[in-house]
Amino acid sequence: MVETILFYGFAALILISALLMIIAPNIYHSALFLALCLFGVAGIYVVLNSYFLAGIQVLVYIGAVVVLALFVINLTRRILDVDSDQHNEQLLPAVIISGLTAFLIISAVLKTNWGTMIAHRVAQDNTALTGRLLLNEFVLPFEIVSVLLLAALIGAISIVAGDKGAQK
């Protein structure tokens, strides 16, 4: 019962804030609605008993990605201009395409015979098991991701810094 209420609450939070995010005329408001939506996804992880993932979601997405997006918005907004129109004229084709995509996925889900597999699940917290798996079975992808993050760090710095000679 509690799970039902929490699921519908967080689902409504996610969908409403995602809709507001894509229709917000101000890009800054859009980033704040994105933070709200990601917070709802963290809540969904809590409903699914993945507490570690919920923490990672809040720390990495809301704490890093959204804040970075806000910084870049502040750095790239033309202060003297009025906020120009943030949307192009492709709203109707976009709604049709994404509506068809959602219809396809949802009808496939509803037509599938899942049997009794999806009725309920075992509620358990898997944080300790996550750590053990990350350092045993998945240690190679773990290290590759850390190298990838280092490469992204160096790449971002070199892209943004540019070469000093060209700027003068």
Among positions 14-73, residues that touch another protein (CB under 8 A) are: 14-15, 18-19, 21-22, 27, 30-31, 34, 37-38, 41, 44-45, 47-50, 52-53, 56-57, 60-61, 64-65, 68-69, 72-73
Q: Which token pair is 89?
A: 């004229």
Rounded CA-CA distance 81/4 in Å is 47
Q: Helix, strand or coil for residue 121?
A: coil
Residues numbered 75-94 forming contacts with another protein, rule: CB under 8 A: 75-76, 78, 84-88, 90-91, 93-94
Member of 79, 80, 82, 110 binding another protein (CB under 8 A)? 110
Rounded CA-CA distance 44/125 in Å is 14
Q: How far is CA 15 from CA 18, 19, 20, in A?
A: 5, 6, 9
Member of 9, 129, 135, 139 binding another protein (CB under 8 A)? 129
Minimum distance of another protein from residue 61's CB (angstroms): 7
Q: Helix, strand or coil for residue 120?
A: coil
